[in-house]
A and B are shown apart, each in its own frame.
Chain A
Amino acid sequence: MSTSGSVSKACFVFKPKAGKRKKKLNPADYFVNETGAKTEATRERYDTYQILWEDMNKDIDALQTDIHKKVFDDLVGYVGTTHPGFSLEEGTKQKVSSNEIPTAALVTGVNMPDHGMIFSNLTSLLQDNITPYVARLQAKDCSAMKNIMSKVIMQFMGNKDLLDDDDDEVQVKRISPTMPVLCGWYADAVKRSQSPNKSPSKKRKSSYGQYPPLVIVMEDLEGFPAQVLQDFIIICSQYLSRLPLVLVFGIATTVTAVHTLLPHSVSSLLCMEKFQAQPSTEYLSQVINKTLLTTKYPFKLGHRVFQLLLDMFLYHDFSVVNFIRGLQFAMIEHFFSDLGMLCCGAKLSASRVKAMDHRQLEAIRKSPSFRRHVELQKPQEQRDLLLNDKHTKEVFISLLKGLDSYHGMCYPIMHCLHALTSSLPRHPLGKQLRELYSLVLESNVWETQGYKDAFSLLRLMARDDLVSVLRQCVERLQAWTESDVSEVIMEVQTYKAQLASLGDGSQEEQEEPDETPKERLSKTTKLHDLQNRLRESAKQKKKLTKYEVLRNKILDYLDEIFRTHLPSPTTLPLHEVYYYDRVSTLRRHMNAAPRAAIQTALSNPHFYLQDESLKTEDGTIPNTAPDVCIAYKLHLECGRLINLYDWLQVGNTVRLKSLLKLFNFIKMFLYSLFST
Chain B
Amino acid sequence: MSFSLIFQTLKYNLSYSKNKLLIAIIMAAGPPVVFGHPAEQLAELYRSCPSRQDQVKLLLALFGQKKHLSCPRVFLYGPTGSGKSHVISNILNTLKLPHALVNCVECYTSRLLYDHILNQVAMVTPTPDNDYANYSRCDNMNDFVKTLRTVIEDRELQEETVYIVLDKAERLREMDMNILPAFLRLGELTGCNVCVILLTEIVWEKFRAGTGVCEPLVLHFPDYTKDELLEILSLDCPAGYTKDFYMSYVNIVLSVFYMACRNLNEIRHLAVLNFPKFCEPIKKGEASEEDVHKLWRNIEPHLRKALQTVYLREVSSAQWERMQEEAAAQETLVTNIKTLTGKVNMELPFYSKFLLIAAYLASYNPARTDRRFFLKHAGRTKKTVQQMKRDERASSQLLGPKPFPLDRLMAIFYSIVEGKVAPTANIYSQISSLVTLRLMTQVGSDDQLDGSKFKCTVGLDFMRSIARTVNFDIIRYLYDFV
Contacts and interface: CB of A to CB of B under 8 A. Distances in A.
Contacts of B436: 112, 139, 220, 222-223, 252
Contact of B80 (A222, A235, A265): A265
A212 B477 CA distance: 56
B448 A253 contact: no
B349 A314 contact: yes
B159 to A, nearest CB: 28
Contacts of A181: 126, 132
Given A110-B352, A592-B425, A231 B313 contact: no
A317 B315 contact: no
Interface stretch (A119-127, A172-180, A449-457, A643-651): A172-180
A631 B466 CA distance: 44
A146 interface: yes
A274 B263 CA distance: 24
A249 to B, nearest CB: 12
Contacts of B284: none
A238 to B, nearest CB: 6
A255 B347 contact: no
B49 to A, nearest CB: 14
A267 B352 CA distance: 29
Nearest to A267: B313
B430 A316 contact: yes
Interface in B434-476: 436-439, 446, 448-449, 451-452
A223 B435 CA distance: 9
B426 interface: yes
Nearest to B129: A188
Contact of B127 (A13, A188, A260): A188
A272 B451 CA distance: 40
Contacts of B115: 176, 178
Interface residues of A, number: 78
Given A9-B451, A274-B314, A676-B407, A252 B112 contact: no
B410 to A, nearest CB: 6
Contacts of A102: 316
Contacts of A594: 423-425, 428
Contacts of B46: none
A181 to B, nearest CB: 5
A675 interface: yes
Contact of B315 (A268, A274, A316): A274
A231 B174 CA distance: 14
A222 B340 contact: no
Contact of B451 (A97, A222, A273, A675): A675
Contact of A175 (B112, B126, B319): B126
B313 A318 contact: no
Nearest to A183: B125
B interface, size bucket: 35 or more
Given A3-B446, A234-B103, A675-B451, A253 B439 contact: yes
B457 to A, nearest CB: 8
B143 interface: no
A15 to B, nearest CB: 13
A671 B448 contact: yes
A539 interface: no
Interface string A53-86: 0000000000000000000000000000000000
B349 A110 contact: yes
Given A9-B451, A317-B426, A98 B131 contact: no
A180 B101 CA distance: 12
A11 interface: yes
A255 B424 CA distance: 31
Interface in A80-136: 97-98, 100, 102, 105, 109-110, 112
A317 B131 CA distance: 48
Interface string A269-299: 0111110000101000000000000000000
Interface string B83-103: 000000000000000000001
Nearest to A676: B407
Contacts of B313: 267-268, 270-272
A178 B112 contact: yes
A372 to B, nearest CB: 32
A204 interface: no
B451 A184 contact: no
B318 interface: yes
Interface in B109-166: 109, 112, 115-116, 119, 125-128, 131-134
Interface in A183-229: 183-185, 187-188, 220, 222-223
B350 interface: yes
B423 A109 contact: no
B109 A264 contact: no
A35 interface: no
Contacts of A184: 125-128, 132
Interface in A432-479: none
A9 B406 CA distance: 8
A66 B311 CA distance: 36
A6 interface: yes
B105 interface: yes
Contacts of A10: 406, 428-429, 431-432, 452
A538 interface: no
A257 to B, nearest CB: 7
Interface of B: 80, 103, 105-106, 108-109, 112, 115-116, 119, 125-128, 131-134, 168, 236, 263, 265-266, 268-269, 311-319, 340-343, 345-352, 405-407, 410-411, 422-433, 436-439, 446, 448-449, 451-452
Q: Return the 8 tightest CB-CB contacts between A and B, nearest first.
A: A145-B108, A175-B132, A184-B127, A11-B425, A315-B350, A273-B316, A11-B428, A11-B429
Interface of A: 2-3, 5-6, 9-11, 13, 97-98, 100, 102, 105, 109-110, 112, 139, 144-146, 149, 171, 175-176, 178-181, 183-185, 187-188, 220, 222-223, 231, 234-235, 238, 252-260, 264-265, 267-268, 270-274, 279, 281, 312-318, 591-596, 667, 670-671, 675-676
7 contacts: A3-B446, A10-B428, A97-B236, A110-B346, A184-B126, A272-B316, A317-B426
